[in-house]
Amino acid sequence: MYSLTFVYSLIFSLSYLGVKAFNGSGSHGPPPNANPLTYGFYATAEITQPAPLEITGTIPNWLQGSLYRGAAGTWDTGNLTAEHWFDGFSRNHRFEIANGQVQYRSRNASDELVDFVRETGKLPGGSFGSDPCKIVFGAFEATFRDGIHPHGDTSSANVDVSYVPDYPGLARNTSSFGSPLETLVATTDGNYLQQIDPVTMEPIEVSTYQAANLLLNSTGRSASHPAFGSDGSVYNYLLDLSAKPPVYRVFSVSPVTGAGTILANITDAPPAYLHSLFSTDNHLILIVWQADIGKESTTLLGSLLPWNPNRKTLFYVISKRDGGVISKYASSDAFFAFHQINAFEDTSGALIIDLPTATDYHFLNSAKVDNLRANVGPNANGSSYNDLTFNFTRYLLPNHGDGAIFSNGSLITNPAIKLFSLDYQKHNIELPRINSKYYGKTYQYAYGIHTEKPGYFTDSLIKIDTVAQTSLVWSPATNHLPSEPIFVANPTGSGVEDDGVLLTVAMDAERKRSSLIVINATTMVELGRAQMPIVMAYGFHGVFA
């Protein structure tokens, strides 16, 4: 039950401080008979000023900082529905945690775009997977800071997948006094970036990687998940489909100047949808799994070629220090993936790569909004077709030294060795996170979303011991749909790898509201939760600072 004090505070927050339906959303919330687990695929309320949340259980006093999460505010505006989960209209969220209490606020980040869509009923430019008949080109003028234009719009693009804290080369935000970050930048799979105020969540400016180097064509594709260096460098790739042949330009962004340097140009790999660039301490790994782009279409989904079980997965290893592709590998199996769990070098110099893999890319088709609204939870009738979770898989890239290159200087394609793939039913995982201290290094524990009941999209969280190949699961007593679990280390604890907590935002089907939930990362036992007065739409990734 909420305390009277909390109710008065909430009323004040929701009225005077401004809870707003998504601009133009109208009555686009869930219908009365909707399954509560699907509420996160409909329009949700924006809370622009800090609102205190009711605490149940205990939030550890050592947990101090801000959790930032990206998501959609809605998929519907005016007469248009953005028909793919990845095409929702962006919103950023902040949970400020201090002294066992939590305050929450959110801010829409694509208002200029939404205004155009509401007025025209059309999506400007391409999309991930919406109806091509609802897409229009040339009618919406968006300006990005791109090395040609010195300034960009504030909110003319959807950029809501992941974040880069303290992105190089940007001035400190004028309102960021008291913020844990100098700057905050949102990313997506297109070559789009958006600077966000880390205090108010106000959108500041949209830009592209072309601002760092003019070869990083603004019309190209990049990973939502760049890689990072210990010195603050940011690494990514730019897939330039206008080049003949198409080229992956792997690049770094200087932590000092924000300038971009091309580290490698890869022209012998098929153009594909690659959501992440992988990284160890010393190397970058571009993994070209199968989501090959080869058809004319106004949407990325429509451009993908049919699945080819004989198309091997390619691994390109690039030196962070010197640049250049130093080795190339191919696996015997075809797979699709989204994310790195971790990658590291063993004592022989070989690379170990852990990632969730799928046997095809059917989830990209499953992620249509109408399908998810209709077929998540009991309505799925036990089918796992729409579930987000994949197989935990480990690959080995042996160190061949000089044996990686022919005498003429061309690369030898060596075999990538699949070491193991854990049992799907027991150990399925996606949206993976680890203790960030261990990225690029030998580690033991991985965390992620998990599906116990087939058809529920995701209903639990998992901790996988990569050494013992065992797991623990947080499985709530009532139906929940949790988000990516973010590990926060205990600064006052033992210092062991799993000493900390997980932060997840989960929809509680019984309460019909979302909560920020804090889970002991050692035992996978819930410690406490901050109950939200609203449903938070289902998004992808976040960062704690």
Identify whether the C-beta of residue 181 lies closer than 8 Å to the C-beta of residue 216.
no
Identify whether the C-beta of residue 498 lies closer than 8 Å to the C-beta of residue 522.
yes
> Phi and psi dihedrals of 8, rounded to 5?
-60, -45
* Summary mean pLDDT of the chain: 92
Instruction: Considering only residues 2 and 529, tell me which one the structure prediction assigns the higher pLDDT.
Output: 529
* Exposure string over 161-191, b if 16+ CB within 10 A, otherwise e: bbbbbbbbbbeebeebeebbbebbbbbbbbb
State yes or no: 225 annotated in a binding site. Answer: yes
The whole-number average pLDDT for the span 64-71 is 97
d(CA 193, CA 163): 9
The whole-number average pLDDT for the span 154-177 is 87
The total of other beta-carbon atoms located within 10 Å of residue 54's CB is 20
pLDDT at 17 over 80: no
| Alpha-helical regions (H) of 220-294 | none
Identify whether the C-beta of residue 64 lies closer than 8 Å to the C-beta of residue 97.
yes
pLDDT digits (tens, 9 = 90+) for 224-278: 999 999 999 999 999 999 999 999 999 999 999 999 999 999 999 999 999 999 9
Secondary element (H or E) of residue 94: strand 89-98
Predicted pLDDT at 403: 64
The whole-number average pLDDT for the span 435-445 is 97
27 pLDDT tier (thresholds 50, 70, 90): low
* Exposure string over 131-152, b if 16+ CB within 10 A, otherwise e: beebbbeeebebebbbbeeeeb
338 pLDDT tier (thresholds 50, 70, 90): very high
The whole-number average pLDDT for the span 191-200 is 95
Identify whether the C-beta of residue 439 lies closer than 8 Å to the C-beta of residue 446.
no
* Exposure string over 379-397, b if 16+ CB within 10 A, otherwise e: ebeeebebbbbbbbbbbbb
Q: How many CA atoms does the CB half-sphere of 415 hold within 13 Å?
A: 5
Handedness of CA 60, 61, 63, 66 (dihedral sign): positive
What is the arrangement of strands in the sheet containing 247-253, beginning at the earlier edge strand? 227-228, 234-240, 247-253, 260-266
The DSSP output letter for 257 is T
Please name every residue paired with 141 in a beta bridge, in sequence order, or none if there are none: none
Predicted pLDDT at 122: 84
State yes or no: 275 annotated in a binding site. Answer: yes
d(CA 162, CA 541): 5
Largest CA distance in the chain: 78
Structure tokens at 57: 């259980």
pLDDT at 343 over 90: yes
pLDDT digits (tens, 9 = 90+) for 96-114: 999 999 999 999 999 999 9
Identify whether the C-beta of residue 95 lies closer than 8 Å to the C-beta of residue 126.
no
Give the percent of the chain with pLDDT over 90: 83
Predicted pLDDT at 20: 54
174 pLDDT tier (thresholds 50, 70, 90): low
d(CA 275, CA 268): 19
State yes or no: 541 annotated in a binding site. Answer: yes
Place of tokens 């248009």: 80
Whether omega before 485 lies within 30 degrees of 0, making that bond cis, reads: no
The total of other beta-carbon atoms located within 10 Å of residue 486's CB is 21
Predicted pLDDT at 2: 40
d(CA 162, CA 186): 6
Identify whether the C-beta of residue 544 lies closer than 8 Å to the C-beta of residue 503.
yes
d(CA 92, CA 186): 9
pLDDT at 369 over 60: yes
d(CA 397, CA 282): 14
Identify whether the C-beta of residue 219 lies closer than 8 Å to the C-beta of residue 144.
no
d(CA 223, CA 230): 19
Structure tokens at 164: 């880069």
